[in-house]
A and B are shown apart, each in its own frame.
Chain A
């Protein structure tokens, strides 16, 4: 029991492992601050330098002002740093960090466009296919693929 209990506590508090499709649930402040204009993205899908670069320019956040007061921002930045990916495949391949522009994302999401089309959602609209994305749950049981989606680029 002595060894089991700490192990259980670690399991309960550890960030989800990549590959199991369960990245959440996320802290309430993360969901409320980073999930009001878009779904709260899994911190595990970008690297620490990418998140830091993003958090440094929240007043110019992909064309909108998403600035947050210093104190709550520091808590969010800390959460992102602690849960960021350490793998190259999750590093943004474009200068303004985008988790839809990593080697991993492109491999997994084939022909999803950057902007929504008549038939396909934009790549960043996770919740349109991953129906439990709000909770950080990307398991395949909750997956609804749109017609026209190809897993791999041809």
Chain B
């Protein structure tokens, strides 16, 4: 699945410009459609709920990234500063496929105890793109 998303993203983004969050969503949308025949697009509202939910565990995305994705956060274990997550506040976010996949893998495991689905990832990015 990961290889598929990456391949779809590469096809969608082409080489005309550097990757951004919207490009990465194109690949996620195709993967979400393949996984859920009824998939009808990403939702920033669902993404915000996802961002703030603890998903049955101790942590949410907001635990380290704060309630406001425009703000710097603090790693809950090490107390090291985490730069803002929203691309409008930190243009370096979602510009490197390896980094995107590395952090989704790690953080979904930490917060949800499982991998995130393509729809969850796309909703999450949709929310972050609305925060300005």
- Rounded to whole Å, the gap between the CB of B42 and the closest CB of chain A is 25
Contact B106 A67 (CB under 8 A): yes
Q: Is the CB of A37 within 8 A of B102?
A: no
Encode A41-70 as 1/0 by CB contact (under 8 A) with B: 000000000000000000100111111110
**Residues A59 and B109 in contact, CB atoms below 8 Å apart:** yes
User: A37's contact among B80, B98, B105, by CB below 8 Å, is which?
Assistant: B80
List residues of chain B with CB under 8 Å of any chain A CB: 75, 77-80, 98, 102, 105-107, 109-110
In this assembly, does A132 line the interface, its C-beta being within 8 Å of a C-beta of chain B?
no
Indicate if the CB atoms of B79 and A62 lie closer than 8 Å.
no
Q: Are B80 and A64 in contact (CB under 8 A)?
A: no
User: Which of the listed residues A65, A69, A116 has the most CB atoms from chain B within 10 Å of its own CB?
Assistant: A65
Instruction: Decide: A62 and B80 in contact? CB cutoff 8 A.
Output: no
Q: Given the complex of chains A and B, what is the CA–CA distance between A65 and B110 in angstroms?
A: 6
Chain A 64-106 residues near chain B, CB threshold 8 A: 64-69
* Alpha-carbon separation in the docked complex, A39 to B81 (Å): 11
A37–B75 alpha-carbon span in the complex (Å): 7
A124 within 8 A of B: yes
In the A-B complex, list the 7 residue pairs whose CB atoms are closest, starting with the nearest: A65-B109, A65-B106, A38-B78, A64-B110, A37-B75, A65-B110, A37-B78
What are 8 residue pairs bridging A and B, where the CB atoms are less than 8 Å apart in the complex?
Answer: A37-B75, A37-B80, A63-B77, A64-B106, A64-B110, A68-B102, A121-B79, A124-B78
Give complex CA distance A38, B102 in Å.
17
With beta carbons under 8 angstroms apart, the residue of B79, B98, B102, B107 that contacts A122 is: B79
Q: Say how far B105's CB is from chain A's closest CB, in angstroms.
A: 6
A125 on interface, CB distance cutoff 8 Å: yes
